[in-house]
Structures are given as structure tokens and as C-alpha cells.
Amino acid sequence: MPLSDPMNWIAWLSCSISVIFWDRIKGDYIQDQKLAEFLYDYYVHSGARAIKKVQNLAGVADDGIFGNITLRAINNTDPVRLFQDLKTERRNFLTSLSKQSGQAKFLKGWMHRINTYM
């Protein structure tokens, strides 16, 4: 794939970002696919905050490092409850963020993004 073509750059970058973020949360090893996809989206858009929140909700130290302890805790927690709690936390965070100067205009889109995950 020649990277001189801008469309190839976009495809390469998109694939690279997906792999980097997915691998960092060990997405292939999270047993609940819906939870893995939601956590991936949260991590792409909020960084280490997503990892810290899922760690806190899964009952492990929220150090922002996604390792085997975090993975085990996630897989040993009720996935339906963890998913719902993580969604609630993310909604609360984004609602709070929208109250900062100039951010309110993004709230509807942010909530739509979260609500696409059932």
C-alpha cells in the first residue's frame, strides 16, 4: 500500500489506532464482547480515565495500567452490571464536562455515542 496516496494514509492510520487502543485494553481477552467494545470506545475518547473507571468498578487499584489483574477482575465481574455502571459513569463524566465553557454543544452527540451501545 503506497503511503503517498492520502486515502492509504487514512486507512493505515485508522487501522493502527484501532490496534493500538484495542491491544492496550486486551480487547481480545475481555470475555464480554459488548463490554470490550464499549471500553475500547471510552478509552479512545477519554484515555486512561476509562481504564481507571473500569478498574474502580471491578474492584482493583485504579492505577490506569491495564494489566492481567485488571483483565481478571473485569472477567470475574458481572458483565451486565459492569457495562451499565461504566455507561452511567461515562454519562455523568460527559455531563459534567459539558458544563465547562464551550462544551455544551457536544453533549447531545456524546450521549448519542454512548446510547448506541445497548
> Residues 28-52: pLDDT tens digits?
999 999 999 999 999 999 999 999 9
Q: Where are the domains of the chain?
A: 6-115
Distance of CA 59 to the CA centre of its chain: 18
What's the whole-model pTM score?
A: 0.86
Q: Would you say domain 6-115 falls under CATH 1.20.1090.10?
A: no
Rg of the chain (C-alpha set): 16
Share of the chain above pLDDT 70, in %: 95
Give dist(CA 11, CA 55) in Å, integer.
32
